[in-house]
Amino acid sequence: MNALPFWVELIVALLLLASGALALVGAIGLLRLKTFFQRMHAPAVTTSLCIWCVALAAIVYFSARDGRLELQAWLIMILLTITAPITTSLLARAALFRQRPAKGPAKGPAAVDGNDRQ
């Protein structure tokens, strides 16, 4: 196996270190923020910028290794860019739905549904 040029390794190393720091930021945010709706924002750091850094590192590394453009890692970026907001919005809706009956005076699910429909 031939050795990669130094600047390629530097770029890959910097991107990987940045992704590690961003993953840590997301996890600390998930652990430390107070309410669920604040906590929901922390993993978005990981699912957007962190994934982008790792995928770019993989693209740069494999392209430099094989001497041609290798864009497979792009698929993961596209997949997560599409799916992460879907998961987040579904979870937010679930959290809203589960928090609603606890707030007001004690009502059955049917009464809550009736209020919702008006």
Residues at the site binding other proteins, with contacts judged by CB under 8 A: 1, 3-4, 6, 9-10, 12-14, 16-17, 19-21, 23-24, 26-28, 30-31, 36, 39-40, 43, 46-47, 50-51, 54-55, 57-58, 61-62, 65, 70, 72-73, 75-76, 79-80, 83, 86-87, 90-91, 93-95, 97-98
Nearest distance from residue 118's CB to other proteins, in Å? Answer: 20
User: In residues, how long is the chain?
Assistant: 118
If you write DSSP's letter for every residue of 29-82 in order, what string do you get?
Answer: HHHH-SSHHHHTTHHHHIIIIIHHHHHHHHHHHHHHHHTS---THHHHHHHHHH
Asked whether the beta carbons of 60 and 5 are under 8 A apart, the reply is no
Which residue, 20 or 114, has its beta carbon nearer to other proteins?
20
How many other β-carbons are positioned within 10 Å of the β-carbon of residue 39?
15
Nearest distance from residue 96's CB to other proteins, in Å? Answer: 9
Nearest distance from residue 46's CB to other proteins, in Å? Answer: 6
